[in-house]
Structure 1
Amino acid sequence: MTRWEQAHRSRRSDHEGDDVIGDGRRPDAVADALLGGRSIVMGGPLGSGKSYLRARVVDALRQRGVDPIVVRASAVLRRTYADALAAASDSRALALLRDEPTPPSTIIVVDDAQELDATSLAAVFRAVHSNRATALIAVTEPRLPTASRHDVVDVIHDLWLSGNADRIELPRLSPGDADRLLTVFAPHDPFDSVTRAAILWSADGSRLLLRALVDAGLAALAENRDPIAAIADDASHGALAAVLHAHMRDLDDEQLRALVLIDRAAGIARADATRLARAAVVHELRVSGLVYDDGSTSHRLTANRVLARAAERALGRDVSEAVVSEALDRLLRDEGRWWSTPLARLLADRWVRTVTRPADLDGVSQGLVERVILDAAREANDAGDASDAAAYAAWMRADITVPAIMLEHRFAVARLGAPPTEDRVLDVAADERRRARALVTFPSVNDTAAARTSSSAAGRGSLLRARQAVADLRLRDAVVLTEHVRRDPDTSCLRDRVDVEMLTGMARAYLGETSAMLEALNRAMRLFASGASFDDTFDRLSARSYDLACRTVAGTDDAEAVDRLAFERDMAVRAGGSALAAASLAAVLVEIRRGRVLSARRELHAAAARAPYRGGESLAMIELETAYGLALFGHPHEARQALDAVDVSSSASRMLQHSLVSTSSVVAAADGRIDEARSYAADSWALSSATDAVMLQIRDAHRLAVLGHPYAEQTLAEVRAAAERVEAPTAHALLRDAEAAIADGTGAGKLSAQVLQRLRAALSIREEHDVDATGAPPIATTALTAREREIAHLVERGLSNRRIAEVLFVSVRTVESHIYQARAKVGAATRRELGAIVAHDGQAHDDGSAPPRRQMNAGG
């Protein structure tokens, strides 16, 4: 290693073995085509890998005994040197330049041909047209279709349009190829999955940018910094800044301004964004991947943050601030006729910074001021910015007191650790009480106030009681309550409707009523697909996590649920902000269910570092599940550390108390402390046996039997009668295994591998890794129809069902039907496995000798 190189930089290679990653990138096939006398124009945007493929083609030619003329054009060379061919220092290049004879079978390779001077370009074209030389011409093309084209690019395109050359397309990296390339650049999996997803999203399909981002991320890890935050901070200087600047050169001022606006007002609805920027510009940014549309009914937009920061630097600070200021002025000028919460927060920032008190605002109604500050405070509290929320509310209180804003202020102050300044009861409106409960239960919130009551408020009260019933494992009560809320005609809020189905699914799961559970979960999934999608990323992640938890409790197949949650995690990364912490927590569940417990532990640490607030029973349950998995998969020390870090109060719900003692039992068993493990297992049984949670009782009875508890047989006898009414096949399998454990005395002595193996079975975890596209089994796919195969390839490229439907102009239901039928034909357990099988089968039928995929010349 030379002294200027750093150990934490990415590998200086972008291929796996002999293959260059990406469609149509086969150096040997390109070399064979050149030797066969076919010239090739190789086009793609900056970062598409042209220079790397060009270098590999040159290597392939030299291995065949052919030494090509290599010309590297550049803007600097064009400005400082007369002719690029003359600068190549090759006598054959000079001969071409002077139109003199050259050796037969001369091959010329030109990189960055768009920078060629007119004389050199003419010499290359003469040689190709006269068959005196064969050329590989690599040209950088604009990323956006609206970008202005270089005259030289049009001339080079005429070469293949006229039939004198073939063309190879080098598009942006597909999601699958980008993921493979990241693994090559950063082997040994150094990043947590959220960081990995953030890097892939920020790279925008560019090899060059992906490498720069990986280097920045590795440097951050070496300094014990969060790579996501470090990349955002470091994007203004160094190598990353230079790459970003080059990546953004094709964008015009209007596109740069729109990108800055969407970045500053992250989550702005598409309808609001198009009030402030031309719809065509917003569409271009979205289609190009620079802006993410969350697919909700509001179509909330989020800019690729790293690239947006580069756009801000390109515009300059003054212009960027003017873009935001114009948007805020428009919001004020229209006096609430349309509304944007992200802009409201920016407006609140401006007021707090520039206006002493609300009374000093000229021409702004009190109602509009209250609305701005309330939305800003809520947004800040939800994002974990308690100090900002407190500042907004305190500024407002200088002149006006609004109960809803006071609620946000008290929550923010409590999170900041400051003592309460007053204990006056807040008379919040009925439709604001749900917000109060979502924040925290304050004694100062009068939940029984008679200010405004409605049947809707009563329904939400039933929903709250149902949630508490599930937490206390009063499952029959929960079923009755959720059915009451579902039948209530005033339950129209999408969030409440999904909550009802998820709570019903969880209650039915614990009762072992698998069919009813699946019906409830399917109703919830139909709400997701109805078009009335959640606007809140956290809600979407929570619902997907709850869906997975239900299937875990019931022991049913959860592969599809894991994939759905992984998809939502990646989408949450694009939303950014506080969603990153929620995405990290979702990643914990994904890794645990895939049996990758050390990865789950890393995801948990990343979530803790990113979470705006620590605490809550949901987080404790995830921490306990991580400890449980670590213990069962041979990491007792790490399991003990994770368990000791969990804070469970004496007032915790029965569900959390049960999770704590059952996890303590497994961790003690993994440590070899069998007596302690049996004691905790008995405590776990004592908790579940007092409830109607049959699935917990069965698992507890199984744990007692596997650990060799003296009362195991008696416990099994009590459970058998209840288990007869259980639909879940897992329940009966666990009972049979418990009986076998008692018969062979598995837990009679010290800890054995069989004990842990049997306890792992109770979790229904898939211990194998997900099928990888590079190692899928050679299953024949001849039974698939052309449409099924097409959809499977799009699945392998990482497209969601909704995106596939858009690409193929069909409905989402049609896509789902084709995927289901295709999975059945090839025996794929998940949609991801289907894509991997079809991709592998396609590679198996390709002997690698054909030339790369290309568009043949227009002339014939």
Structure 2
Amino acid sequence: MPDVRPWFTTDDEAALASVTATLGESVDLVSRTSLVARAAGSPRLLERLSAEAASNIRAHRDPLDALHGGAAGSTVQEAARELVEDYSDDERRALALLGRLDGAAHATALRALDARTVDELIRRAAVHDGVPPSRVLHANRLLSIEAENTDGTEHVDSALDDLIRRELSAFGDRSNPAILRTLATEWYADRPTGPTADEVDDRTRSRALALAAARANAVGDADLALAFVRSDPSHSSCLDLAVEESRAHARAGRFDEAHAVVEARDPREGTTRSRLRLVQWWGALVVWHPQRHPLDALERWIARVGSGQATLRAELDAHRADAACLDLDWAGATRAAHRTFDEPEASPASRIRASLSAAAAAAAEGRSSEADRLLSYAEQATRDPVSGRPLSVSMELSIIGHRAFIGHLAGRPPSSRLEQRLQVAVRRTAERDEPNVRALAGIVCGIVLGIARGDDAVSERELSAAIDRVSRIELAVMRPLVSSLRAGALSRLGSPHAARAVLDESHIEPLGKHRLYRFARHVADYDVAVAQNDVVSAGSSLSAAAREHEDRNRPRDGGGTARARALDRWAGRVAADAAGRHATSSPFPKDDVADLTDREREIAVLVGRRLSNKEIAARLYISVRTVESHVYTARGKLGAESRRELGSIVGL
């Protein structure tokens, strides 16, 4: 059973309320939660952080920009210094060291630090503890910087160098990733102390530089990533470095160079793990140019591998399942996913990704119980067997997003348990300095709290903040989809010109080769046209969306989902109108209004009058949850994408 214990204490709830009072409801949940996490329980620091975030917002910047330390003498820095000065000398030095070693395992940290000191920092929320057994530690970056500024760098440098030397002596290239990444960073900074690149063996040097390049790529610094890669004399024969070199080229938009790097690598080089990692990246890279660089080239590369081909082929099939979903080919996605499931040597990561693709396909074809079963499998595979807690916050966010969206397709609002899980995941996201995880968390918040609830204002708030935080190339493929969702929300909120601007800024090419992106864009164009009362454009866009979907997925029994029936009806109306046989004054189909129960119709009418769920519940003397259930059922019957569209259909 997932660990969904509430992560907010009473004080945390008050802290969030304080942030909301300062910044207003227009600030996304990830930003507000991150401010609370950075304040580490200090009301004064939270007040200063909130004021700085408000200043960022007025300047049209990310609320979290430049809040790691602030300028010298700033109010944020002063409040952080006051908090850190309350720590003991040992606690400050330990905090500074853990700030340098962000992501170090708890066991690694204890080789240099006293366990009681680390536990006290965790208790103070200056350091955040991960899930057992690895217990990865993430220091509060704001406080760790101030701790080092207060005591100077000498103690930290000495302790860090000693720890690195002992780790390398004992474990070599198998040392903790945080140790190796920090070591490579020291080489790049040309520090005179610590082991030099010439003092370590080739495997250790290559792995350290690959880890440092991966961190640079994760924050969108392609030039720094390439600098790490090229500082290794043997980088041409290291698969891990090749992956990061290719990723850096892709991040800079040089996709041909990115493909050339991986295609040139000898598949017999490296370890099974490094080959799997290259196949994982290569498959993700193909999404950008599926016609110029198809998956067939990757299949030929895998065929040249000696042992371990089965694991790599299972990963390739997981990519084929993803590609089929992007092409709205649900049957193809299911077949490819099952090939991964049927391979005994498939990696856990391949199985999880295949289960998510298969779940999406099952939901799209109306097999909701199978979709739930596949998601349950993915959840079980990504949890610690002892505690039941998620091992990866990114994977947990992905599963939550899939659950909410699949429930949305089935007309089910998100459950309170799913929302609790989202709260846990957002808090874990706020505890670490990883912008791409924050971006993913924001997208999932937009799905769960906005789209799945039919709340366009929340959807726009969360998605707009999230998309600006994307820096990792793998997550950048979501930009056009998120932009389409944002445009739809803005249109339904009565801002079609802003929606059109969002779509114009979204560069769908070359991702427009995939049906899913074209389908989402047509639906967004439809929403904009409806908001502008442009009946002809609305009809054209909706029929185009229907063609994208139906060309791939012809209903086998002539039925299909309510949304598909709505699309079919509207496409027929457009054709009839073009022939001069029929004219309509509204782009909204309303044939199925009679299918609503009396209670559903009553609630839908009140929705059309702009009453909130709470107001409707009070008027009808029923619970808010009952109102939500009726709204979602009515939307499912009418194929309405939002509360606004539901009200419009019934009103007509």
Same fold (TM over 0.5): yes
Q: TM-score, normalised by structure 2?
A: 0.77
Partner of 1:662 in structure 2? 523
Instruction: Classify 1:603/1:362 alpha carbon distance in 2 versus 1 (closer, same or farther; 3 Å).
Output: same
Distance in 1 between residues matched to 2:303 and 2:335, nearest whole Å = 26
Distance in 2 between residues matched to 1:483 and 1:668, nearest whole Å = 40
Instruction: Classify 1:702/1:567 alpha carbon distance in 2 versus 1 (closer, same or farther; 3 Å).
Output: farther
Partner of 2:582 in structure 1? none
Say which of 353, 356, 362 aligns to 1:502. Answer: 356
Q: Does structure 1 residue 564 correspond to structure 2 residue 421?
A: yes
| Unaligned stretches of 5+ residues in structure 1 | 1-170, 714-734, 744-753, 781-822, 831-860
Distance in 2 between residues matched to 1:344 and 1:530, nearest whole Å = 26
Say which of 678, 682, 688 aligns to 2:543. Answer: 682
Residue-by-residue CA offset, 1:179-209 (whole Å, 9 max, x unaligned):
122233x153353322211111112223222
Kindly indicate whether the alpha-carbon contact (under 8 Å) linking 1:386 and 1:413 is maintained by their aligned counterparts in 2: yes
Instruction: Classify 1:214/1:282 alpha carbon distance in 2 versus 1 (closer, same or farther; 3 Å).
Output: same
Kindly indicate whether the alpha-carbon contact (under 8 Å) linking 1:685 and 1:697 is maintained by their aligned counterparts in 2: no
Distance in 1 between residues matched to 2:627 and 2:115, nearest whole Å = 42
| Unaligned stretches of 5+ residues in structure 2 | 1-7, 269-274, 578-587, 630-652
Distance in 1 between residues matched to 2:27 and 2:239, nearest whole Å = 44
Partner of 2:401 in structure 1? 545
Distance in 2 between residues matched to 1:606 and 1:527, nearest whole Å = 30
Say which of 332, 335, 338 aligns to 1:483. Answer: 338
Aligned partner of residue 16 in structure 2, secondary structure:
helix
Partner of 2:504 in structure 1? 644
Partner of 1:183 in structure 2? 20
Q: Does structure 1 residue 739 correspond to structure 2 residue 595?
A: no
1:627 shift after superposition: 1.5
Worse-superposed segment, 221-230 or 387-396: 221-230
Say which of 310, 313, 327 aligns to 1:458. Answer: 313
Partner of 1:573 in structure 2? 430
Kindly indicate whether the alpha-carbon contact (under 8 Å) linking 2:467 and 2:482 is maintained by their aligned counterparts in 1: no
Worse-superposed segment, 280-289 or 608-617: 608-617
1:218 shift after superposition: 1.9
RMSD of Structure 2 on Structure 1 (CA): 4.0
Aligned partner of residue 229 in structure 1, secondary structure:
coil
Q: Does structure 1 residue 612 correspond to structure 2 residue 449?
A: no
Aligned partner of residue 275 in structure 1, secondary structure:
coil
Kindly indicate whether the alpha-carbon contact (under 8 Å) linking 1:433 and 1:447 is maintained by their aligned counterparts in 2: no
Residue-by-residue CA offset, 1:629-674 (whole Å, 9 max, x unaligned):
2222333222222222332236522222222212212221121111
Distance in 1 between residues matched to 2:626 and 2:459, nearest whole Å = 28
Partner of 2:573 in structure 1? 709
Residue-by-residue CA offset, 1:594-646 (whole Å, 9 max, x unaligned):
44434433433433432215774422222212212222233322222222233
Give aligned pairs, total.
Answer: 571
Residue-by-residue CA offset, 1:60-87 (whole Å, 9 max, x unaligned):
xxxxxxxxxxxxxxxxxxxxxxxxxxxx
Q: Does structure 1 residue 237 correspond to structure 2 residue 93?
A: no
Q: Does structure 1 residue 632 correspond to structure 2 residue 495?
A: no
Distance in 2 between residues matched to 1:481 and 1:565, nearest whole Å = 30
Instruction: Classify 1:652/1:558 alpha carbon distance in 2 versus 1 (closer, same or farther; 3 Å).
Output: farther
Residue-by-residue CA offset, 1:450-499 (whole Å, 9 max, x unaligned):
12342222222221222222222222232233233223322342x22322
Q: Which amino acid aligns with 2:497?
A: H
Residue-by-residue CA offset, 1:721-771 (whole Å, 9 max, x unaligned):
xxxxxxxxxxxxxx995334899xxxxxxxxxx9xx89x99xxx9974899
Alignment of 1:334-353 (within 5 A): 334-336=170-172, 338-353=174-189
From the CA coordinates, give the structure whose radius of gyration is larger.
1
Kindly indicate whether the alpha-carbon contact (under 8 Å) linking 2:382 and 2:395 is maintained by their aligned counterparts in 1: no
Kindly indicate whether the alpha-carbon contact (under 8 Å) linking 1:592 and 1:600 is maintained by their aligned counterparts in 2: yes
Kindly indicate whether the alpha-carbon contact (under 8 Å) linking 2:69 and 2:142 is maintained by their aligned counterparts in 1: no
Q: Which amino acid aligns with 1:687?
A: E
Instruction: Classify 1:566/1:434 alpha carbon distance in 2 versus 1 (closer, same or farther; 3 Å).
Output: farther
Aligned partner of residue 137 in structure 2, secondary structure:
strand
Partner of 2:282 in structure 1? 437
Instruction: Classify 1:597/1:485 alpha carbon distance in 2 versus 1 (closer, same or farther; 3 Å).
Output: same
Aligned partner of residue 573 in structure 2, secondary structure:
coil
Say which of 368, 375, 381 aligns to 1:527. Answer: 381
Instruction: Classify 1:679/1:779 alpha carbon distance in 2 versus 1 (closer, same or farther; 3 Å).
Output: closer
1:420 shift after superposition: 4.4
Aligned partner of residue 175 in structure 2, secondary structure:
coil
Q: Does structure 1 residue 517 correspond to structure 2 residue 371?
A: yes
Alignment of 1:367-406 (within 5 A): 367-397=203-233, 401-406=237-242
Instruction: Classify 1:611/1:597 alpha carbon distance in 2 versus 1 (closer, same or farther; 3 Å).
Output: same
Kindly indicate whether the alpha-carbon contact (under 8 Å) linking 1:291 and 1:303 is maintained by their aligned counterparts in 2: yes
Distance in 2 between residues matched to 1:351 and 1:770, nearest whole Å = 62
Distance in 1 between residues matched to 2:132 and 2:301, nearest whole Å = 32
Instruction: Classify 1:210/1:403 alpha carbon distance in 2 versus 1 (closer, same or farther; 3 Å).
Output: closer
- Aligned residues with identical type, % of pairs: 21
Kindly indicate whether the alpha-carbon contact (under 8 Å) linking 1:172 and 1:205 is maintained by their aligned counterparts in 2: no
1:280 shift after superposition: 2.3
1:684 shift after superposition: 1.7
Q: Which amino acid aligns with 2:70?
A: D
Kindly indicate whether the alpha-carbon contact (under 8 Å) linking 1:377 and 1:390 is maintained by their aligned counterparts in 2: yes
Instruction: Classify 1:375/1:767 alpha carbon distance in 2 versus 1 (closer, same or farther; 3 Å).
Output: farther
Partner of 2:644 in structure 1? none
Q: Which amino acid aligns with 1:234?
A: G
Distance in 2 between residues matched to 1:260 and 1:573, nearest whole Å = 19
Alignment of 1:123-202 (within 5 A): 174-184=11-21, 186=22, 188-189=24-25, 191-202=27-38
Instruction: Classify 1:196/1:297 alpha carbon distance in 2 versus 1 (closer, same or farther; 3 Å).
Output: same
Instruction: Classify 1:428/1:262 alpha carbon distance in 2 versus 1 (closer, same or farther; 3 Å).
Output: farther
Kindly indicate whether the alpha-carbon contact (under 8 Å) linking 1:630 and 1:638 is maintained by their aligned counterparts in 2: yes
Kindly indicate whether the alpha-carbon contact (under 8 Å) linking 1:236 and 1:310 is maintained by their aligned counterparts in 2: no
Partner of 1:80 in structure 2? none
Partner of 1:290 in structure 2? 126
Aligned partner of residue 302 in structure 1, secondary structure:
strand
Kindly indicate whether the alpha-carbon contact (under 8 Å) linking 1:685 and 1:701 is maintained by their aligned counterparts in 2: no
Distance in 2 between residues matched to 1:767 and 1:486, nearest whole Å = 45
Aligned partner of residue 341 in structure 2, secondary structure:
helix
Partner of 1:11 in structure 2? none
Distance in 2 between residues matched to 1:768 and 1:304, nearest whole Å = 39
1:413 shift after superposition: 3.4
1:296 shift after superposition: 5.7
Partner of 1:807 in structure 2? none
Kindly indicate whether the alpha-carbon contact (under 8 Å) linking 1:620 and 1:646 is maintained by their aligned counterparts in 2: yes
Residue-by-residue CA offset, 1:663-711 (whole Å, 9 max, x unaligned):
2122211211111111111122222222337698631432464799256
Aligned partner of residue 292 in structure 1, secondary structure:
strand
1:414 shift after superposition: 4.1
Q: TM-score, normalised by structure 1?
A: 0.59
Instruction: Classify 1:636/1:216 alpha carbon distance in 2 versus 1 (closer, same or farther; 3 Å).
Output: same
